[in-house]
């Protein structure tokens, strides 16, 4: 079975490479020719552990190829559409790239094919695509099937998520699509059947519901952390207490400075918009993104209140700029948002991230009192305090003999990584969230 992937971002590239690694013949397409040239050399344009090696192996095995042309699409049986659907600015998803793809396909496809939409799209998109492109879906000469197949990949662990999925959602009412889905996903489905079939509308909504549920769990813990700060409770103890309940589970119960990235903020906003468009009230969904912004402000105020009117004479060392560990993605990064809020108030900020610094520099170029450093311990002696924003593994067990040289000997722990008792042995103060 030959597979054609349209879009080589996180979702498209991981999908294509994992299918190729499983023995399928895969062509990955992107309109960006320079990107395609890089990928042909195994040069991945973003950071995802293990992906470059898999590309090189599949290229050598001749299971994988890259192209900037759609001319080869007729040589393939299955097409995955994996283009971006960013926030339009009002909570609606921008489907421009998706529509460009289907306009192009109706001029190129001349044989039977199955198209999966893997992009995150609003409920009802599959129906609209079938209606808006009759040349594809109402052609008497060949049969094109359309299905929804939302992705559930975590940046930084996307390969593992694809190969060992919790579930594989397919939105379809077609027996043919179901049969082909079993063939496609058999290599990742052999221990037990993880395929879950449902209507296209349900599949589309499931993606938004899953991400919004996870965002809601984070937000709930963050709000509890503020209550802990106002009392004698400890958020770590709360997490262990409720996480031990199997109905709740332990995942996504860590408090911090908020969530970011390309998915949670966009998908929460989009789900909120879907409720509005369908005239259905949702107080819960509407409050999630608002509470997330409040958490950033809450941590920001912890820092500024500590220094009071002396902030303008203080330097800060910032660890972590990506929105989460194991990625160079800074989209909606709360670390970046915090830096932008702190920069006008403090004398100088020294910024370190093991991977994401090159992506952060253009985003922060208008802030003149920032300096990107090459080591996490550079400028410790010139800094008054350390602010931990992203929980990269190399930050988990820092050298406290070095950090005791911070001028004011204080760490603002935005991810609650550190034990205040351990820091106290080195005469370092700890300011966490709810601890």
Residue 256 shares a structural domain with residue 308: yes
Q: Determine the average pLDDT of the residues in 69-98.
A: 94
Res 259: pLDDT: 95
Residue 93 is part of which domain span? 2-198
Residue 34 shares a structural domain with residue 87: yes
Residue 300 shares a structural domain with residue 189: no
pLDDT at 124 over 90: yes
Q: Determine the average pLDDT of the residues in 269-293.
A: 93
Active site residues: 263
pLDDT at 140 over 90: no
pLDDT, tens digit, 9 for 90 and up, residues 111-120: 999 999 999 9
pLDDT at 98 over 90: yes
Residue 188 shares a structural domain with residue 327: no
pLDDT band at 313 (very low <50, low <70, confident <90, very high): very high
| pTM for the structure as a whole | 0.92
pLDDT, tens digit, 9 for 90 and up, residues 357-379: 999 999 999 999 999 999 999 99
Kindly tell me the sign of the dihedral angle through the C-alpha atoms of 296, 302, 303, 305.
positive
Q: Determine the average pLDDT of the residues in 350-357.
A: 97
Residue 386 shares a structural domain with residue 246: yes
Residue 261 shares a structural domain with residue 112: no
Residue 301 shares a structural domain with residue 267: yes
pLDDT band at 51 (very low <50, low <70, confident <90, very high): very high
Res 190: pLDDT: 80
Res 223: pLDDT: 96
pLDDT: is 190 or 171 the higher one?
A: 171
Residue 13 shares a structural domain with residue 77: yes
Percent of the chain with pLDDT over 70: 100
Q: Determine the average pLDDT of the residues in 316-320.
A: 98
Res 155: pLDDT: 93
Given 198, 220, 252, the domain boundary residue is 198
SS3 category, 184 = helix
Res 335: pLDDT: 98
Token couple for 423: 């820091």
Query: CATH number of the domain that 320 lies in?
Result: 3.40.50.720
Res 191: pLDDT: 80
pLDDT band at 1 (very low <50, low <70, confident <90, very high): confident
pLDDT at 242 over 90: yes
> Residues 376, 353: contact at Cβ < 8 Å?
no
Residue 152 shares a structural domain with residue 223: no
Res 24: pLDDT: 97
- Dist. CA 55–CA 48, nearest whole Å: 12
Given 153, 183, 198, the domain boundary residue is 198
Q: What is each CA distance from 308 to 29, 302, 304, 367, in whole angstroms? A: 54, 10, 6, 22
Q: What is each CA distance from 134 to 97, 101, 107, 229, in whole angstroms? A: 19, 14, 12, 59
pLDDT band at 198 (very low <50, low <70, confident <90, very high): very high
Q: Determine the average pLDDT of the residues in 404-414.
A: 98
| Phi, psi (degrees; rounded to nearest 5) at 373 | -115, 160
Residue 176 shares a structural domain with residue 310: no
User: How many independent structural domains does the chain possess?
Assistant: 2
Given 148, 164, 198, the domain boundary residue is 198
Res 413: pLDDT: 98
Residue 280 shares a structural domain with residue 310: yes
Res 192: pLDDT: 85
Percent of the chain with pLDDT over 90: 96
Q: Determine the average pLDDT of the residues in 177-200.
A: 94
Q: How many residues does the chain have?
A: 435
- Dist. CA 196–CA 198, nearest whole Å: 7
- Dist. CA 253–CA 219, nearest whole Å: 9
Q: In what order do the strands lie in the sheet with 78-81?
A: 64-67, 25-29, 2-6, 78-81, 113-117, 144-148, 168-171, 195-198
Residue 218 shares a structural domain with residue 255: yes
Strands 370-372 and 429-431: unpaired
What does pLDDT average to over the chain?
96
């Amino acid at each position: 079975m030959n597979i054609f992937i349209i879009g080589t971002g996180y979702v498209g590239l991981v999908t294509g490479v994992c299918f190729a690694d499983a023995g399928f013949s895969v062509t990955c397409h992107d309109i960006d020719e320079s990107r395609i040239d890089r990928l042909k050399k195994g040069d991945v344009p973003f950071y995802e552990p293990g992906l470059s090696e898999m590309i090189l192996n599949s290229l050598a095995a001749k299971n994988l190829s890259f192209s900037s042309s759609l001319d080869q699409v007729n040589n393939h049986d299955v097409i995955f559409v994996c283009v971006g659907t960013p926030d339009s600015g009002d909570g609606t998803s921008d489907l421009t790239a998706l529509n460009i793809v289907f306009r192009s396909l109706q001029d190129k496809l001349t044989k039977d094919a199955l198209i999966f939409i893997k992009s995150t799209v609003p409920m009802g998109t599959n129906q609209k695509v079938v209606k808006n492109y009759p040349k594809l879906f109402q052609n008497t000469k060949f049969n094109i099937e359309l299905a929804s197949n939302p992705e559930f990949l975590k940046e930084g662990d996307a390969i593992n998520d694809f190969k060992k999925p919790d579930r594989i959602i397919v939105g379809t009412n077609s027996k043919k699509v179901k049969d082909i889905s079993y063939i496609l996903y058999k290599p990742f489905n052999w221990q037990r059947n993880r395929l879950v079939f449902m209507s296209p509308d349900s599949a589309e909504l499931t993606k938004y519901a899953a991400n919004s549920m996870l965002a809601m769990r984070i937000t709930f813990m963050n709000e509890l952390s503020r209550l802990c700060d106002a009392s004698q409770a400890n958020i770590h103890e709360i997490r262990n207490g409720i996480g031990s309940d199997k109905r709740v589970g332990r995942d996504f119960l860590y408090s911090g400075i908020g969530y970011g990235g390309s998915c949670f903020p966009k998908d929460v906003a989009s789900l909120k918009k879907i409720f509005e468009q369908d005239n259905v009230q949702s107080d819960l969904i509407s409050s999630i993104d608002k509470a997330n912004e409040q958490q950033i402000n809450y941590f920001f105020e912890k820092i500024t209140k500590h220094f009071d009117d002396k902030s303008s004479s203080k330097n800060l060392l910032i660890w972590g700029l990506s929105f989460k560990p194991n990625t160079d993605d800074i989209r909606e990064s709360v670390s970046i948002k915090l830096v932008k809020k702190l920069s006008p108030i403090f004398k100088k900020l020294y910024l370190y991230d093991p991977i994401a610094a090159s992506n952060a520099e253009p985003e922060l170029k208008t802030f003149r009192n920032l300096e990107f450093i090459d080591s996490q311990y550079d400028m410790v002696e010139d800094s008054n305090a350390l602010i931990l924003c992203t929980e990269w593994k190399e930050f988990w067990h820092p050298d406290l003999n070095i950090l005791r040289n911070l001028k004011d000997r204080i760490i603002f722990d935005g991810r609650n990584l550190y034990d205040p008792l351990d820091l106290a042995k080195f005469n370092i103060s700890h300011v966490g969230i709810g601890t």
